[in-house]
Structure 1
Amino acid sequence: MTVNGSMFVKVPSRSQADVVVVGGGLSGSLAAVLLGRAGYRVAFVDRHAVCPAQFRVEKIAGVQVELLRRMGLLDCLAAAGAPFVKVVNARRGRVLDETFGQHYGILYDDMVRVVREQLPPAVRFLVDRVVQIETGPDHQQVTLAGGEVISARLVVLATGMGDLLRQDLGISRRVIFEKHSTTFGFSISPAPGQAFGFPSLTYYGEQQADAIDYLTLFPVGDVMRANLFTYRDYRDPWLQDMRRDPKSTLLATLPGLGRFLGDFQVVTPVQYWIMDLCVAGDYERDGVVLIGDVFQTSCPAAGTGVSRLLTDVERLCMVHLPRWLASPGMGREKVSEFYQDPAKQAADRSALRAAHYRRGVTVDPGMGWTLRRQHAFIRRRLLGRVKDLQRALPAPSAGQAEA
């Protein structure tokens, strides 16, 4: 630019960090918090100062609860979520069984907001966009759209399913199953003066031809959130019917569902999400590591995506990275240790197996899958009846217990 007839060149500002975390969704936010708490200098970069509302994970349950507890982040997320313990499982208008465990219903953007609120002072949160990453065996250079250049030991790429930076680094992506599943999300409320007769409900598809794995209903705030997992072809007109008139479409496809819901209304627009199953390739690079969906995507119906993500964050930030930063260099031989981590590999394999199983047991017409499907529901119904009988029996007296 020219000032008073003289030419000036804007010099980019430069800064130093131990780690640059690129991407401010759940995986990136978790990584930034854990690394900042450990005392590392972290530059945390995302385009959004506030995570925009988007349809992603909306529930914490199972192994995710323990993983978050080990990270020291369960309490803050639990306080912001809607807790529930009992889940009624049903199909074709009948209860299969009831399962129990600690669950928390919480929308994705609220989850990210709560995690970001835990960012310690050691983390610089930069609302900006990364335009270039230059990697090497010792130091990495990250250039932001705003002009700042950050030098760091390691770059953690947590950009979800975004492709541009991954492609610029020469990291490929292999599509295992294109348009593997379609997931719908919306909220419902009972008719005025009524209430749902369950704390949470999982209702399974009634016919193999419907290509519905299950509908899960759980509390979020003052409404009941609905997640519907399907394997319908993305060109099927049913998907448009589901978006346009979800109540009628659901009840027509799952006629036994009305017994559990009674009269209800859909109180939010229907969101949907078509998932490709993908895995990264050529990812062992100097100075950069991939976590979460940028490394591998998961089937939403299998419920393994968040477990994989949390495993990635825990193993990288609490096991590998402290050891890496304690010695010079950040070559691919170090970074490869994360990808070869047995816990990470087990979580990745389990997610892929679960994705193929959920689709197969839901839509595959072959005899083997048909038998698996029938056996699974019959077994659950029988075990559910046994548990009901056990709960109905009177507790033994003190004398009987001693005998």
Structure 2
Amino acid sequence: MEPPLTVGAWTMTADSTVTEPIAAAATTTIVADVAIVGGGLAGSLAAAVLARAGHRVALVDKRAVYPDEFRVEKIGGPQLEMFRRLGFIRGLASVACPYDQVLNVREGKVVDVSVGQAYGLPYAGLVAMARGQIPDPSSLIVDEVTAVTCSDDVQHLELASGRRLNARLVVLATGMAGALGYKLGIRRRVLAAGHSVSFGFTIVRRDGTPFDFKALTCYGERTSDGVDYLSLFPVPAGMRANLFMFRDPTDPVMRDLRRDTEATVLRLLPGLQPYLGDFRVTDRVQNWVMDLSVVEGHLQPGVVLIGDAFQTNCPAAGTGVARLLVDVERLCTEYAPRWLATEGMGKEKISEFYSDRDKIAADQQSLKMARFRQALTSRDDISWDVRRRLHFLRRSITHRVDQMRPGWLAQVRSALRA
């Protein structure tokens, strides 16, 4: 079989993160087993897993260095075990800030303390780590896919540079950018427009002293504010803040959060003041409006969608990375290797991935948690008011019992699982 073609000779543009191919290479045809379109977290992780398993991979993205975007910024809980299984845990630990305790507060009072390993880092750093795990750097092709022609055998991709890329399988990891999928007849159905709004920024104390906590989560106090929670955790640049809200994206408070962040945060979460002291924002406030959506018409020969390209998630629910990792693990360790071992790449093969029980469960759980977080935050009818009070009361009682008898609850849970 023809070896993968090394991509060389690039010239830098005025934007140092973008490269353009030298004209002499414009007619090159690149051959791979798998072409991955989109070099964000999903695409970069998938490329690394497949390439380390010996498959010829071409990862196509417009940027040689992924830009600083407000996306995933913390990894913890069950996600860490999935990173470990996929072989990325050492890479993650080497570039992120670790923390193992989160102080959870509401209305100025401690609800409980979460204990468990977690890591904080910017999304661009997370993507760079994943790309750094790809054995051959030339697998990254800095270009843009303009068209895809799919069949039961070989898939043909046209690049903006004029080159062509042939592969047996195409993986669309393009996030919510659906232009290529649209050309293939794949449509996105919006389940909830403007479902949630997220803000990201970095803070420090004005006097330069460290905060009195490793990490902190402050939950919203009033349903009318639409604040789910503010999460504070360490990243290499300082203490990162992620604020998650269920509120009309056109509400004036969104402008206030961008222009007068410190005062607006304390107005929305007055119980936070004793924990933060006198603080200031050190960087640009970024925000993101998320629609909940799923794709239709995606079952096609030779092409598979993963991550947000298949289904979006609610950032407040914290299920996006878990879904993404399930997609990468199931596709790249179970299905793609088996598909490549035999002839053809028809719909019957592709449907196996979309029918995978773990994938379906992760997708359904993500939508379920998105709706739960919104209701728990914003619903003001009696049933949800009672449910909200019981939710935090149960956590508070559990925390107090565990303080009085450390380890007792863990023993009970272990016994119930046995």
Question: Which of 279, 293, 299 is matched with 1:284 structurally?
Answer: 299
Question: Which of 342, 362, 376 is matched with 2:357 structurally?
Answer: 342
Say yes or no: does 1:263 pair with 2:263. no
Question: Which of 33, 38, 44 is matched with 1:18 structurally?
Answer: 33
- CA offsets 1:175-225 (integer angstroms, 9 cap, x no match): 000000000000001232532111000000011111000000000014100
Question: Is the 8 Å Cα contact of residues 227 and 268 (structure 2) preserved in structure 1?
Answer: no
Question: Is the 8 Å Cα contact of residues 26 and 163 (structure 2) preserved in structure 1?
Answer: no
Q: Distance in 1 between matches of 2:303 and 2:403?
A: 53
- CA offsets 1:146-202 (integer angstroms, 9 cap, x no match): 111111110000000101101001001110000000000000012325321110000
Give TM-score, length-normalised by structure 2. Answer: 0.90
Q: Distance in 1 between matches of 2:149 and 2:318?
A: 35
Q: Distance in 2 between matches of 1:387 and 1:222?
A: 34
Question: Is the 8 Å Cα contact of residues 27 and 163 (structure 2) preserved in structure 1?
Answer: yes
Letter in 1 for 2:368: R
Matches within 5 A, 1:296-307: 296-307=311-322
Please report how far the alpha carbon of residue 368 of structure 1 lies from its aligned counterpart in structure 2 after TM superposition: 2.0
Match of 1:177 in 2: 192
Letter in 2 for 1:274: V
Question: Which of 92, 95, 111 is matched with 1:80 structurally?
Answer: 95
Say yes or no: does 1:111 pair with 2:90. no
Question: Is the 8 Å Cα contact of residues 26 and 161 (structure 2) preserved in structure 1?
Answer: no
Question: Which of 119, 129, 138 is matched with 2:144 structurally?
Answer: 129
Q: Distance in 1 between matches of 2:51 and 2:292?
A: 32
Question: Which of 242, 247, 256 is matched with 1:241 structurally?
Answer: 256
Say yes or no: does 1:376 pair with 2:376. no
Root-mean-square deviation (CA, aligned residues, Å) is: 1.5
Question: Is the 8 Å Cα contact of residues 76 and 119 (structure 2) preserved in structure 1?
Answer: yes
Q: Distance in 2 between matches of 1:368 and 1:279?
A: 30
Q: In structure 2, do the counterparts of structure 1 residues 171 and 203 end up closer, same or farther at CA, with 3 Å as the change threshold?
A: same
Letter in 2 for 1:215: L
Question: Which of 132, 143, 163 is matched with 2:178 structurally?
Answer: 163
Match of 2:75 in 1: 60
Comparing 336-345 and 372-381, the one that deviates more: 372-381
Paired residue secondary structure (2:400): helix
Question: Which of 151, 155, 159 is matched with 1:144 structurally?
Answer: 159
Question: Is the 8 Å Cα contact of residues 36 and 123 (structure 1) preserved in structure 2?
Answer: no
Alignment gaps of 5+ in structure 1 = 1-9, 394-403
Paired residue secondary structure (1:186): strand
Match of 2:43 in 1: 28
Question: Is the 8 Å Cα contact of residues 218 and 224 (structure 1) preserved in structure 2?
Answer: yes
Match of 1:216 in 2: 231
Question: Is the 8 Å Cα contact of residues 251 and 258 (structure 1) preserved in structure 2?
Answer: yes
Question: Is the 8 Å Cα contact of residues 96 and 381 (structure 1) preserved in structure 2?
Answer: yes
Letter in 1 for 2:43: G
Question: Is the 8 Å Cα contact of residues 44 and 123 (structure 1) preserved in structure 2?
Answer: no
Question: Is the 8 Å Cα contact of residues 294 and 311 (structure 2) preserved in structure 1?
Answer: yes
Matches within 5 A, 1:40-59: 40-59=55-74
Question: Is the 8 Å Cα contact of residues 37 and 122 (structure 1) preserved in structure 2?
Answer: no
Please report how far the alpha carbon of residue 391 of structure 1 lies from its aligned counterpart in structure 2 after TM superposition: 4.2
Q: Distance in 2 between matches of 1:233 and 1:199?
A: 32
Question: Is the 8 Å Cα contact of residues 175 and 308 (structure 2) preserved in structure 1?
Answer: yes
Q: Distance in 2 between matches of 1:215 and 1:290?
A: 31
Question: Is the 8 Å Cα contact of residues 217 and 224 (structure 1) preserved in structure 2?
Answer: yes
Letter in 1 for 2:151: G
- CA offsets 1:213-255 (integer angstroms, 9 cap, x no match): 0000000014100000001111110110011001001111211
Q: Distance in 1 between matches of 2:187 and 2:129?
A: 32
Identity in percent: 50
Paired residue secondary structure (1:167): helix
Please report how far the alpha carbon of residue 139 of structure 1 lies from its aligned counterpart in structure 2 after TM superposition: 0.9
Give TM-score, length-normalised by structure 1. Answer: 0.93
